[in-house]
Amino acid sequence: MWLPLLAVLGIIYLYRWHRQSLIMENVTNKYVFITGCDSGFGNLLAKQLDRRGMKVLAACLTEAGVENLKKETSNRIQTVILDVTDSQNVGSAAKWVSSIVKDEGLWGLVNNAGIEVPSCNNEWLTKEDFLKILNVNLLGVVDVTIHLLPLIRKARGRVVNVASVAGRLTMCGGGYCMSKYGVESFSDSLRHEMNPFGVKVCIIESGFYSTQMNDGKSHKESLKRCWEKTSEEVRKAYGVEYFGKTYTSVDIMSWFWSTKLSRVTDCMEHALTAVHPWTRYSAGCDAKYFLVPFSYLPAAILDLVLTIGQPKPAQAI
């Protein structure tokens, strides 16, 4: 009884594996624009695609980022300074890209630039703290994409947006998870709109990774700043002991953050070069085998698991 079913499932699996293993020819003739190339995923992807022979247009936030990237790549790579929160700067970068790709159009856009802090209890934050993250992680993605869409449509290319498992599971307060939920929504609507033009939109849902921009030290420093600027009433409600345990828990969580960034950049590369890219990529074992499946559980179970071991505020009932 089960043998025919297993055979059918095996055939489906082999078909999907074969279909997704098909890689395009002549990828070296295609231009790819990547944001956030100073460090982390963007920096590694720029080097990875450069080694593959693709025409990489790398956007860095700082001059130091540009210089460091140029030292480790070939002379094919071209760089530009870009602050994705500055719409005028984004417009100038789009014109720069257009002057390079000309009638060929832009094959790939990788919206990678992002920040994670401040991320802590919502009550410890201000509106400006939320805006700081949303302007980079969500509105920056929207602005860059809209400016470059005409070039991408011309090439019938790809848009690769870096979201996160935090776009499915809200595991902390602040603007980070909110921004990643927004990236998921924006990507879905964009995919529907661009499909008639032959443009594919892919989402990278990464797990937990440690980069120069995201490590335990930066999270702890941000957490301390947020705590210190809250009102005396808020600090009294939560208590010093609560803050201390929350502060210490960052070290425990950082033990589980992976440093194998290539698991994410390999997904990005596949999204740019595969004949049939996936709509969503679960980047990392934690995302693929635990966090994404976990996100489908009922809210009551999710709430219970996500709050296990969480310290209680001083004035908790």
- In tens, the pLDDT along 62-72 reads 999 999 999 99
**Domain co-membership, 104 together with 240:** no
| C-alpha separations of 75 from 14, 54, 214 in Å | 40, 12, 29
Task: Write down the pLDDT at residue 198.
Answer: 96
CB 111 within 8 Å of CB 161: yes
CB 92 within 8 A of CB 69: no
pLDDT above 90 covers a percentage of the chain that reads 65
Q: Which domain holds residue 241?
A: 216-256
Same domain? 252 vs 263: no
* Domain shared by 147 and 178, yes or no: yes
Model's pTM, two decimal places?
Answer: 0.91
Please indicate, yes or no, if residue 306 is contained in any of the structural domains: no
Residue 240 domain-assigned (yes or no): yes
Of residues 32 and 14, more confidence is placed in 32
CA 5 → CA 14, 15, 17, 19, 234, distances in Å? 14, 15, 18, 21, 58
Q: Are residues 147 and 114 in the same domain?
A: yes
Q: Do residue 100 and residue 235 come from a single domain?
A: no
**Does the pLDDT at position 60 exceed 90?**
yes
* 162-216 residue pLDDT tens: 999 989 988 889 999 999 999 999 999 999 999 999 999 999 999 888 776 666 6
What's the rounded mean pLDDT across residues 125-150?
Answer: 97
pLDDT at 214: 66
Encoded tokens for 254 = 């950082």
For residue 95, is pLDDT > 90?
Answer: yes
Q: Does 65 map to a domain?
A: yes
Q: Does 162 reside within a domain?
A: yes
252 inside domain: yes
The more confidently predicted of residues 23 and 43 is 43
User: Which of 27 and 236 is assigned the larger pLDDT?
Assistant: 236
Whether 104 and 224 map to the same domain: the answer is: no
In this model, does residue 236 exceed pLDDT 90?
yes
- The mean pLDDT value for 83-111 works out to 97
- CATH number assigned to the domain comprising residue 292: 3.40.50.720
Instruction: Give the least confident one: 68-77, 188-197, 304-313.
Output: 304-313
Average pLDDT, the chain: 91
**Would strands 55-60 and 78-81 be described as parallel, antiparallel, or unpaired?**
parallel
Higher-scoring residue by pLDDT: 237, 3: 237
**Structural domain contains residue 314:** no
Residue 212 has what pLDDT? 65
Domain final residue pick, 230, 256, 282: 256
- Whether residue 241 lies inside any domain: the answer is yes
**pLDDT score at 1:** 65
User: Which token pair is 120?
Assistant: 């802590």
Active-site hit among 31, 176, 209, 238: 176
220 and 284 together in one domain: no
252 with 183, same domain: the answer is: no
Tell me: cis bond preceding 118? Omega within 30 of 0 counts: yes
- What is the count of structural domains for the chain? 2
pLDDT recorded at residue 92: 97
Q: Tell me which of 254 and 180 has the higher pLDDT.
A: 180
- For the record, the structure tokens of 139 come out as 């509105």
Residues 193 and 236 in one domain: no
User: Would you say residue 50 has pLDDT above 90?
Assistant: yes
DSSP string across the chain: -HHHHHHHHHHHHHHHHHHHT-B-S-GGG-EEEES--SSHHHHHHHHHHHHHT-EEEEEESSHHHHHHHHHTS-TT-EEEE--TT-HHHHHHHHHHHHHHHGGG---EEEE------S-S-GGG--HHHHHHHHHHHTHHHHHHHHHHHHHHHHHT-EEEEE--GGGT---SSSHHHHHHHHHHHHHHHHHHHHGGGT-EEEEEEE--B-BTTB-HHHHHHHHHHHHHHS-HHHHHHH-HHHHHHHHHHHHHHHTT-B--THHHHHHHHHHHHBSS--SEEEESHHIIIIIHHHTTS-HHHHHHHHTTTPPPPTT--
Residues 81 and 183 both lie in one domain: yes
Say if residues 105 and 153 touch (Cβ distance below 8 Å). Answer: yes
Strand-strand pairing, 158-162 and 55-60: unpaired
Same domain assignment for residues 51 and 199: yes
Residue 209 bears catalytic tag = no
User: Does any domain span residue 276?
Assistant: yes
Same domain, 235 and 202: no
Q: Please report the pLDDT score of residue 124 as a whole number.
A: 95
Select from 256, 281, 308 the last residue of a domain.
256
